[in-house]
Amino acid sequence: AKDWNGIDQVVLRSPHGPSAKVSLYGGQITSWRNEKGEELLFTSSKAIFKPPKAIRGGISTCFPQFGNCGSPELHGFARNKLWIIDDNPPPMPPNDSDGKTCVDLLLKPSEEDPKCWPYSFEYRLRVMLAADGGLTLISRVRNINGKPFNFSFAYHTYLLVSDISEVRIEGLETLDYLDNLRQRERFTEQGDAVTIESEMDRVYLRSPNVIAVLDHERKRTFVLRKEGLSDVVVWNPWEKRSKSMVDFGDEEYKQMLCVDAAAVEKPITLKPGEEWTGRLQLLVVPSSFCSEQ
Ligand code: TA6
């Protein structure tokens, strides 16, 4: 299949109805649907599906920076590049893809990469869709360079929600966070859950590996399970900032919430030959299911 810009995308379908779409542009997840065919990820109606910007929505992988390194590309170049399908990926832990439909993508350095991160790497992204609709992303970055390198990383995940004022995030309470709206000053979360009532842009530090995003109105909960990624970024642009983004509708902030599994505070270091793995697993369950657990 092709995406809106004529670029190839891979459609994953589970036998019971859930599906996901992965664009080779950016290796980005552009759609994730449940068994009823309902979309679970937000994509802006004003999204621009061509370089140099990443597609506004879905799940993009921010690599090798979350932020920028002096180049105009925010959040690294991986999400602005054309990836290739990896037909022969190196082995993964046994049973990892059992019963799941899956695609493997590969990104390697190219001449056009920004000069501020001049390292040789192989980045492999596996996207898997389970029979129950669970979506798993596994990133493996290998240093094939003669010297060590550092990078930061995020799965920039735009969840589709019914009404931002009715959403709560559980799992971040009592954590320290860096507030990007206040010069990255450090604060401690005081609430018993995170709710969003104005612009928010925070990096929650050293979070537990399971975070729940409860959508009260739709009575469903996104369960995010991460591995190899210590932080969680929470972002909503709210009213004023929304109006300043060309590829975002003025009112769309009410229907989205970014909750990103990330490694931001402490970059990851890889020595020559070493490999890092970072996983994100997303599942949607009825809200009553969560409170019974
Ligand atoms: O922390 C999240 C954030 O970096 C915000 O500061 C905001 O700039 C946003 O991500 C950018 O999202 P985009 O999808 O445009 O890359």
**How far, in Å, CA of 46 to CA of 43, rounded?**
8
- ipTM metric: 0.94
Query: Residues with Cβ < 8 Å from 278, sequence gap 6 or more?
Result: 138, 139, 141, 153, 155, 226, 227, 228, 229, 261, 263
Q: Whose CA is nearest to atom 15 of ligand 1?
A: 56
For the chain, 293 residues long, give each residue's pLDDT as a single digit of tens.
Answer: 666 666 788 999 999 899 999 999 999 999 999 999 999 999 999 998 877 788 899 999 999 988 877 666 678 889 989 999 998 888 877 666 667 899 999 999 988 887 889 999 999 999 999 999 999 999 999 999 889 999 999 999 999 999 999 999 999 999 999 999 999 999 999 989 999 999 999 999 999 999 999 999 999 999 999 999 999 999 999 999 999 999 999 999 999 999 999 999 999 999 999 999 999 999 999 987 555 44
The pLDDT tens digits of the residues spanning 183-216 come to 999 999 998 999 999 999 999 999 999 999 999 9
Counting ligand 1 atoms within 8 A of each CB, the residue from 29, 59, 152, 156 with the most, and so the one to mutate, is 156
Ligand 1: nearest atom to the Cα of 201:
1
Mind listing the pLDDT tens digit for each residue in 182-192? 999 999 999 89
- Ligand 1 centre to CA of 56 (Å) is 9
156 within ligand 1 shell (Cβ under 6 A):
yes
The model's pTM: 0.94
Nearest-atom index, ligand 1, CA of 247:
15
201 C-beta closer than 6 A to ligand 1: yes
Give tens-digit pLDDT for 164-173. 999 999 999 9
236 CA → ligand 1 middle, Å:
9
Q: Which residues pair with 281 in a beta bridge?
A: 136, 225
Residue nearest to atom 6 of ligand 1 (CA): 201
Quick check: CB of 180 below 6 Å from ligand 1?
yes
pLDDT of 199: 98
Interval between CA 291 and ligand 1 midpoint (Å): 31
CATH numbers and ranges of domains, the chain = 9-292 (2.70.98.10)
Å from CA of 199 to ligand 1 middle:
12
Ligand 1: residue of 201, 232, 244 to mutate (most ligand atoms within 8 A of CB) is: 201
